[in-house]
Chains A and B, each alone.
Chain A
Amino acid sequence: MLQEIGFVDVRVGPPADTFGEASGEKKARLFEVYGYPFLARKPG
């Protein structure tokens, strides 16, 4: 979606276990939900 809008140099960082040891962990594991950092640039 980022590239569709026009962003370039899109990078995705390593996953963070956002919900580990929280009460939402079970549901997060079910759908393999993790947090990620993203970086993108608007050309120009």
Chain B
Amino acid sequence: MGAELPVDPAALREEVKSKYREVACNPHGEFHFHTGRRAARRLGYEPAMVDRMPDAAVESFAGVANPFSLRALEAGEKVVDAGSGAGFDCFIAAQQVGPSGKVVGVDMLEEMLHKSRATARAMELPNVEFREGILEEMPVGDGWADVVISNGVINLCVDKKQAFREIWRVLRPGGRLQFADIANGKPVPASAVANIDLWTA
């Protein structure tokens, strides 16, 4: 790992996979964050868009804010969701960009990819695709995206600068990054930052 990184990126990825595998497979379990329709309601998602979605599209949602609150997507836009989980934000995006748009979700967890792909098929959304990958190295061409969205994932990357550089790479000139993430108002002690167990606690 790089000398400047507080924890080993590969070890953190395994920790994140372990936590979110549970969210994918047991979405009604006990977590330290809200999930599903309750989370979407708390974060101000448009009820009409959420209500029409099947449970499988919503139940594993574990976002931290609403990436569509500062700007709605436009019809026809090409969108990448960096860290798409079970696909909730991709399915919201698909409703906003319409059939002339395209949505690509990128996630590293097999269980989430399995779930999101099955849901996209069930919702008959041929313009929504899910690809396996990590934020720091997304399987998307240079300048392909009009918009990159993300929700509660960048904070789980050790090398945030590399994650933002990668987002920059996949965005076209003039493209937009609209994401949601957590931030702390009080500093977290260095000892806690170096404790990998606390990153997902």
- Show the binding face of A for B, using Cβ within 8 Å: 1-2, 4-7, 11, 13, 15-24, 27, 30-44
Contact = CB atoms under 8 A, between A and B. Distances in A.
Interface residues of B, number: 42
Interface in B153-201: 160-161, 164-165, 168, 171-188, 201
A1 B80 CA distance: 20
Contacts of A13: 65, 69-70
Contact of B164 (A1, A22, A23): A1
B42 A38 contact: no
Contacts of A6: 168
A31 B65 contact: no
Interface in B14-65: 30-34, 42-44, 63-65
B64 A16 contact: yes
Nearest to A18: B64
A34 to B, nearest CB: 7
A37 to B, nearest CB: 5
Contacts of A7: 164, 168, 177
B33 A24 contact: yes
Contact of B64 (A2, A4, A35, A40): A35
Nearest to A10: B177
A40 B176 contact: yes
A42 B42 contact: no
B177 A35 contact: no
Contacts of A34: 182-183, 185
B136 to A, nearest CB: 14
